[in-house]
């Protein structure tokens, strides 16, 4: 057990500068943005299994997907909406009438209606004026609101958008019936300091009563930025299990939950002891292996080899662990290898019922170190080669695409005349 009073509570000292809400609603995007990670595809059964586990641990909002994407996606969203889960099922769509009708038809109780807001998106992707975007947002939000859905209005690339346009667009959406508004750092350009400034400006001009943030991890800032947003009063952060998502991924569910629980002293209400179980499920069904050093759920997160660390943890786990591994459903591991010290050897012998003299322990420690130095990497090189081949060309291979081109009856253009 960790002893109380052994940590310096910096967050307690800085509590006056934080504006946390009384209740934080976790909005999970694993089944939507997480599935948009290249090469990831969940079947209807897999989505249901993940949704059931998310609901079981206490996640309140689950984005089941975008019904208009395909007939399969529409059926899956409808299945989750009628699965009787405690979590609220949300479906997403663009500011396009057909998308909203598909959301309504799915039976989802919540809708996330999104549109891009930055000049680069308006000019090159949407090819729409600001006024056209505002009108489309008003029409679709109003339709979803009139259908009795809880409506969240989302803009892509909010953090690279003109604040004047942001104010007009969100104000129009709120007037049309949006219950919640979402700020997106779509390409992960914010840092905690710049995001704090942006959110304060956003709050000043939009005055949201219920708001979310959607952060990407392009520069490794997603969790830090999401926590900054929560400090600024955001009450419904977007998260993804294992940090799945486009490019470098999204804010990690487990990182935000445990940061709030351990570092901020906030009771999230989630069953944290089931986080590793959830992580393992998503790893298996997504086909995306966890990095060994992934925070909290990575295989080495609670593993120790260095003699100094092992000795400290055996005396008191607080020396090199900020939380008990059982808190997230993990177990502590002591790895034998080049860096192993006497303490780990003594502990291993004790667990296995051996008795040894000091000289025998010293000798065994030397042997373990030598064996660790000589120990090869096994099949790691081959496994990495296979792993890289999977992700260098995820999804359909080029030869598969060419076969589908032929099946579709498409012929190559004739080479232009010289």
Mean pLDDT is lowest, of 73-87, 152-166, 189-203, 325-339, for 325-339
- Nearest residue to 36 (alpha-carbon basis) of 396, 401, 399, 395: 395
Domain boundary among 228, 260, 286: 286
The answer to the question of residue 8 being in a domain is no
Domain boundary among 222, 254, 286: 286
Task: Let me know whether 282 and 307 are in one domain.
Answer: no
Q: Where are the alpha helices (DSSP H) in 163-322?
A: 163-175, 192-206, 222-231, 253-258, 275-286, 307-315
Give the domain extent around 342.
303-374
Task: Let me know whether 263 and 313 are in one domain.
Answer: no
Q: What is the mean pLDDT of residues 401-414?
A: 86
Reply yes or no on whether the pLDDT at 221 is more than 70.
Answer: yes
Domain tally, the chain:
2
Q: What is the mean pLDDT of residues 349-358?
A: 88
- pLDDT tens digits, residue range 278-295? 999 999 999 999 999 999
- Nearest residue to 25 (alpha-carbon basis) of 65, 66, 54: 54
Segment holding 304, helix H or strand E:
strand 303-304
The answer to the question of residue 407 being in a domain is no
Mean pLDDT is lowest, of 17-21, 221-225, 378-382, for 378-382
Q: Report the C-alpha dihedral over residues 77, 80, 82, 86, rounded to 10 degrees.
A: -140
Where residue 9 falls among pLDDT bands split at 50, 70, 90?
Answer: low
Task: Let me know whether 51 and 108 are in one domain.
Answer: yes
**Full-model pTM:** 0.88
Q: For residue 275, what are its two tokens? A: 């986080």
The answer to the question of residue 24 being in a domain is yes
Task: Let me know whether 65 and 210 are in one domain.
Answer: yes
- Nearest residue to 59 (alpha-carbon basis) of 88, 21, 90: 88
Task: Let me know whether 248 and 282 are in one domain.
Answer: yes
Reply yes or no on whether the pLDDT at 79 is more than 80.
Answer: yes
The answer to the question of residue 6 being in a domain is no
Domain boundary among 238, 254, 286: 286
Task: Let me know whether 273 and 311 are in one domain.
Answer: no
pLDDT at 307: 67
Q: What is the mean pLDDT of residues 20-26?
A: 95
pLDDT at 368: 80
9 or 254, higher pLDDT:
254
pLDDT at 5: 47
Task: Let me know whether 370 and 253 are in one domain.
Answer: no
pLDDT at 2: 41
Share of the chain above pLDDT 70, in %: 93
Average pLDDT in the chain: 91
Task: Let me know whether 228 and 345 are in one domain.
Answer: no
- pLDDT tens digits, residue range 365-383? 888 888 877 776 667 777 7
The answer to the question of residue 403 being in a domain is no
Tell me how long the chain is: 418
Where residue 153 falls among pLDDT bands split at 50, 70, 90?
Answer: very high
The answer to the question of residue 63 being in a domain is yes
The answer to the question of residue 173 being in a domain is yes
Q: What is the mean pLDDT of residues 101-118?
A: 98
The CATH number assigned to the domain holding 58 equals: 3.20.20.70
- pLDDT tens digits, residue range 51-62? 999 999 999 999
Question: What does R_g of the chain's alpha carbons equal in angstroms?
Answer: 25
pLDDT at 6: 47
Task: Let me know whether 105 and 33 are in one domain.
Answer: yes
Where residue 14 falls among pLDDT bands split at 50, 70, 90?
Answer: confident
| Other CB atoms within 10 Å distance of the CB of residue 348 | 15
Task: Let me know whether 209 and 334 are in one domain.
Answer: no
pLDDT at 374: 76
The answer to the question of residue 388 being in a domain is no
Task: Let me know whether 270 and 317 are in one domain.
Answer: no
Task: Let me know whether 228 and 351 are in one domain.
Answer: no
302 or 217, higher pLDDT:
217
pLDDT at 418: 56
């Amino acid at each position: 057990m960790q002893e109380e009073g052994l940590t310096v509570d910096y967050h307690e000292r800085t509590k006056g500068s934080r504006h946390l809400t009384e209740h934080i609603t976790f909005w999970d995007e694993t089944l939507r943005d997480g599935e948009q990670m290249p090469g990831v595809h969940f079947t209807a059964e897999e989505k249901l299994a993940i949704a059931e586990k998310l609901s079981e641990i206490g996640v309140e909002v689950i984005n089941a997907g975008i019904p208009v994407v395909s007939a399969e996606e529409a059926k899956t969203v409808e299945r989750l909406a009628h699965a009787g889960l405690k979590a609220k099922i949300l479906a997403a769509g663009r500011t396009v009438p057909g998308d909203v009708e598909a959301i309504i038809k799915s039976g989802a109780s919540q809708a996330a209606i999104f549109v891009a807001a930055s000049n680069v998106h308006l000019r090159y992707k949407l090819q729409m004026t600001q006024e056209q975007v505002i009108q489309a947002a008003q029409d679709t939000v109003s339709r979803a609101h009139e259908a009795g859905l809880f409506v969240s209005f989302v803009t892509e690339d909010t953090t690279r958008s003109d604040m004047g346009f942001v104010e007009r667009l969100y104000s129009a959406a709120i007037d049309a019936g949006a219950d919640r508004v979402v700020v997106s750092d779509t390409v992960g350009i914010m840092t905690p300091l710049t995001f704090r400034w942006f959110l304060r400006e956003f709050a000043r001009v939009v005055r949201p009563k219920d708001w979310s943030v959607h952060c990407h991890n392009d520069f490794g800032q997603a969790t830090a930025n999401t926590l900054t947003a929560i400090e600024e009063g955001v009450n419904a952060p977007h998260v993804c299990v294992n940090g799945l998502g486009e490019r470098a991924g999204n804010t990690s569910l487990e990182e935000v939950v445990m940061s709030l629980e351990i570092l901020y002293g906030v009771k999230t209400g989630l069953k944290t002891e089931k986080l590793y179980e959830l992580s393992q499920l998503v790893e298996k069904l997504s086909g995306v292996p966890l990095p060994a050093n992934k925070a909290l759920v990575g295989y080495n997160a609670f593993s120790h080899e260095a003699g100094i660390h092992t000795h400290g943890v055996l005396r008191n786990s607080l020396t090199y662990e900020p939380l008990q591994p059982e808190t997230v459903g993990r177990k502590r591991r002591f790895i034998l290898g080049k860096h192993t010290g006497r303490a780990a050897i003594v502990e291993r012998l004790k667990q296995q019922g051996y008795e040894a003299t000091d000289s025998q322990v010293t000798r065994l420690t030397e042997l373990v170190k030598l064996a660790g130095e000589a120990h090869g990497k096994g099949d790691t090189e081959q496994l990495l080669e296979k792993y890289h081949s999977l992700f260098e060309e995820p999804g359909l291979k080029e030869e598969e695409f060419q076969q589908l081109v032929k099946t579709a009856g498409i012929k190559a253009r004739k080479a232009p005349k010289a």
